[in-house]
Each structure stands twice: as structure tokens, then as C-alpha cells.
A and B are shown apart, each in its own frame.
Chain A
Amino acid sequence: MRRITRDRVISLLLIAPSVIALLVFVYGFIAFTAFSSFTKWDSLTPDFSFVGWRNYLKLFGTSPTDRFLCDLRNTVTFTVLFLIGCIVIGFGLAVLLDQKIRGEGIFRGIFLFPMAISFVVTGVAWRWLLSPGTIQTGSSGVNLLFQKVGLGFLRWGWFTDPTIWSIPPESGVGMFLKQIGLSGLVSPYVGVSLAMISVVIAATWQMSGYVMAMYLAGLRGIPEELREAARVDGATEFQVYRHIIIPLMQPITLSAVIVLGHISLKIFDLVVSMTGPGPAFATDVPAFYMWDTTFRGNNFAQGAAIATILLLLVAVLIVPYLAYTTRTEAEL
């Protein structure tokens, strides 16, 4: 009996350093950041005089060209396109690889290797691939490739294109959206920054293999008898996927959405190394703005406010997921 209590004490001592470290470095630091976001601290010397919501109000300014509003617009664009891209390509490749393919291992290796390298390497490589070239040098990168294979009309400014697509209020679509009560979408604050597409391409290149691997593991877990039974019942191959396999993949899709979603909210390295903030903040993101304003501009309180918003966005996604996965685990 004594031994058990002694072991109990040792077990707590073993885990204590890690728990204390995470308590301080995660929760304590988050609390400090949140606190700083309500202060005046805008130079190298900390100034903790309370200013209320001022740092937040400054972010949600008045004009659609305000940096943080551009960042939110870009994050939405990035998240939506990146999720769709990774899930469609990842699932598509997994299904194609699941057809008893010769050389499956080689294909899998090729689709997954970008996961092993740094976003910085990806950014450097794709920056050159998508750099459009100038009038003096002619087309470069992918544009040059298009030109060579006779697809010159596809040439484009990629991440240098400052165009923001938004729905004009006078247009047919704009009128229609207003009619059905979605006038919120017809606003200069809502738009798609075309330059973001380049960042999405690079990020999808890096992460879709990961989604493929998750789906492939899921597909391999479906017993062959299940598909066979459906085929015997006269289902076409498409119907087998539509009604049996895709519904069974739902938990994996959920995992993929959570993992990719939180990556896209945090995306930083890729933007730094590939494009920077871009023309008129066309490729700026909150994580980059936070770093820029805090560690280059020494506006710590402003940076803390951005960081706090970023954390809340991630928490909305992650906390229910953590609660859900750990609860189902406890039930087992």
C-alpha cells in the first residue's frame, strides 16, 4: 500500500516539469498577450497603461483598404480555396491510388514528399515558378512554360496581380443577392484577392499529399466485402463511392478540415518567403501583420491584439474538436 502512494508521488513528479512549463508558456503567456492587447505598449519600453478596446477598434477601421480587413479577406479566400483544393485533390488521388495500381509506392512517395520540407523552401521555389517576368526579361517560370506549349493566353501576373474580385452592387448578381437578403456579400469589404491564389497553389502543393495519406488509410480500412455486396446489389462504381465510401470518410474529412483549417489561419512562413504582404496587402495575412507590427514596428499592444484575435479564431475550430476526440476516447 505504501509503495503505491510512493509511486503515485513519483508519477506526479515525472509529469510536473512538463505541466508547469506548458501552464506558464502556453496559458500564462496567452493571458499576458491578451492583457497586453488592452494596453498602450507601442514602443520598446513596456507601457501597461490601460486603453480599453482601442487596439482592437483600430484594426477594424473604416475603409476596406485597412490592413487588417484586407488580412481577414485574404484569410477567408485562402482557407476556402486551400481546403477545397487539398480535400478534392487529396481524395481524388487516394481513390485513384486505391485501384490496385502498379507503382503505388512511388506515386505515394511523390505526392507526399512536400510534407517533409519547410514552407520556406516551398515559398522560395514557388516564388520563382510563379514570378511572371517583366517586359525586359520576357515571361518566366510557369508563364514561360505556358508560352512554350502554346497556352500563352494563360499567362498571368500571379502574386503580383493586385486585383480584388468583388461583386459590383449594380450588376445582375449583385441585385439578385440583395433581393434574397444577402446584401452583406455585395460590399467592398468582401472580395477575393487574386494574388492569394498563388499562395494557395504552393500550400496545396505542400499539403494535399497529407490529405491523400489520411484518405488512403481510411479507404484501406473499408472491408472489401462491403463494396462487393453493393456491387452484387447492382450499384455502379460511382454509386458505391457516392453512397458507401464517401459517407464512411466523413470523420477523416472532419479531421482534414480541422488540421488544414488551423494551418491556414496560422499561415506565416509561406507568405514571408514567397510574397510578403504583396501589392496593397493583396497577400498579407494576420500572422504576418502581427509579426510585422510587433517585431519590426515595436507596436507590441497592436500585435498582441492581432495575436489574440488569431488565437480566438483557432480556438473556435480546435476546442470543440479536442473536446469531441478526447470524450469519444474516454468512452472507449
Chain B
Amino acid sequence: MTSQTRRPSIRWSRVVNYAILIVAAAFFLLPVYVLLVTGLKSFQEVSLARMWDLPSGFYLDSFAKAWFGKASEGIRGLSENFMNSVYLAVPATVISALLGSMNGYVLSKWKFKGSNVLFPLMLFGMFIPYQSILIPLVQVLQRMHLYGSLWGLIFVHVVYGLPITTLIFRNYYAEIPNELIEASKIDGAGILGIYRYILFPISMPGFVVVMIWQFTSIWNDFLFGVIVTSRPAVQPITVALNNMAGSYIVEWNVQMAGALLAALPTLLIYIFLGRYFMRGLLAGSLKG
């Protein structure tokens, strides 16, 4: 009886529910729409007054110009910087994941006196405003002859990536029963053997989460890039995009195309590996 009287109101609430979700989705997609339609327009079509109009065809001129640049107009393309970001993000991701895995292993399965104090001290490193370490960082990198190079940037991302990779792996290994480790010890396995033959083979899901997280944050980083690399030829793509967007000689449709190119790799990761991306995201709020 009650269900009969309530049915219409329930229907309405569903309609409202969907309506709000659709309006919200439109808001979230608004920048994507503008980036796409502007990037795909021909140079003749681009005007602020027609910003919201669909392109008349499928023009890739803006993308070509954003990617290759145009030497005659003094516009640098983003292709070189895109590859810099690849050469930066891939090794930095792999190294920081491996180190994080070892740290997580020790901090979860080989706890020592003081390890429960050490862990939060390590974690603090991922929350600090990096402004508070930039001045000595530049000095030290100069002394190490790493300043201004991609190697320097890789080094910096590995060091400041350690807290989050250690956190995720520690939480991941904490789920693995201690009995498994104890049994292997009785069988005569040492600390390295247990890692190599027991933990590492079942660590793949952990590695996927950590590597996606690290790749995304290193690819998207701007602060370290702008501080450590000053020459345009070694800058990562976020820095190059910001320079391009701040330049008055670059048309805004080229800037939009450049922004899409810079966003593409992490967007693809998100689309295809979203599940793992989410896990890293939630680990970032310490609730692993």
C-alpha cells in the first residue's frame, strides 16, 4: 500500500537525481569540449566569438603546430619536451617503485626498534611544501653536477617519491600473512630470498598501483621541472606548455592543442587502468 502511494515521488526524485548528475557531468566536460573543438579548428575558423561553435571539419593543423613548432615564427614544438617527460618519468617511476618496495618490505615484515617512529618521519616528506627545500636543493644539485639535466630531475623525483611508494608498499605487504614469512624462514630462506621468491612474485598489483601513481605525478609535475631545468631543450612538457601558453606569439588554438597533447598520456592511463589509479589515489589519503 505504502509503495503505491510513494511510487510517483520516487520517480521524480530519480529524474532529479539523473538531471543533477548530467548537469555536473556537463560542467566537468566543459574544458574538454573547448580544448577539443578549438584544437580541431582550422586557423581561419579560430576566433573568440566562435569559441563554442563546432569545427567545420577535422583539422589537425593546430596539433601539428603544437607538436612540431614553427621555426619561421620562432615557435618551439612540444615534441622534444614530450620525449623529455618520457625519458624522465619512466626511469624515475621504476627506480622509486623498486626502492619503495624494499622499504615497504622492511617496514612491514622486518620491523625494528624505532621503525614505527621512522615511518611517519618518512611520510612527512610527501606533505611538505617543496618550496621549503628548493634553495638547498639547487645548491646541492649544482655541486653534484646534476643541475639543469634530466638526470638531476630523475634523481629529485626518486628521492621525493620515496615516501608515497614506501607507504603504498608497506600497506600492501601488511596484508600478506606473517606466517608465510615465518614458514620460509624455518625452511632456511634469508631476507633477500624471501623477497625474491615469495614477495616479489606476488607484488605485481602493488607495483601497478605505485607505478601508475608515480608516473602520473612525475608527468604532471611542474615545480621541480621549472626549478631544475632552465634550458628549453631539457624541460619536461608541463614547463614547455606553460611557456607556450605564456607566449603572445602562439595562437590560442595551438595552446589548446598543446594542452591536450600534454594531458594525453596520463589520460590514457586513467582510461585504461582507472581501477589501479583509484587505489593509488585513495592511498594518498593514508587510508591504504
Q: Do A and B come from one complex?
A: yes
The B-contacting residues of A in range 97-112, CB under 8 angstroms, are 97, 99, 101, 107, 109-112
Complex Cα gap A213–B202 (Å): 27
CB closest chain-B residue, reference A12 = B112
Cβ contact within 8 Å between A99 and B14: yes
B180 within 8 A of A: no
The A-contacting residues of B in range 1-41, CB under 8 angstroms, are 14, 17-18, 20-21, 24-25, 27-31, 34-35, 38
A80 within 8 A of B: no
The count of chain B contact residues (Cβ–Cβ below 8 Å) is 89
The count of chain A contact residues (Cβ–Cβ below 8 Å) is 99
Beyond A124-B245, A129-B31, A255-B286, whether A96 also contacts B135 by CB under 8 A is no
Complex Cα gap A294–B79 (Å): 30
Most buried by A among B18, B21, B35, B118: B21
Cβ contact within 8 Å between A128 and B17: no
Cβ contact within 8 Å between A117 and B106: no
B227 within 8 A of A: yes
Stretch at the interface among A20-28, A55-63, A150-158, A192-200: A20-28
Q: Name the contact of A15 in the complex, choosing from B14, B34, B106, B128 (C-beta under 8 A).
A: B106
Cβ contact within 8 Å between B52 and A148: yes
Most buried by B among A12, A18, A107, A268: A18
The smallest beta-carbon distance between A228 and chain B, in angstroms, is 15
The smallest beta-carbon distance between B7 and chain A, in angstroms, is 15
B183 within 8 A of A: no
The B-contacting residues of A in range 206-220, CB under 8 angstroms, are 209-210, 213-214, 217
A interface residues (Cβ-Cβ under 8 A, vs B): 3, 6-8, 10-12, 14-15, 17-19, 21-22, 25-26, 28-30, 32-33, 36, 89, 92-93, 96-97, 99, 101, 107, 109-129, 133, 137-138, 140-141, 144-145, 148, 205, 209-210, 213-214, 217, 255-256, 258-259, 262, 265-266, 268-269, 272-273, 286-287, 290-291, 294-295, 300, 303-304, 306-308, 310-311, 314, 318-319, 321-323, 325-326, 330
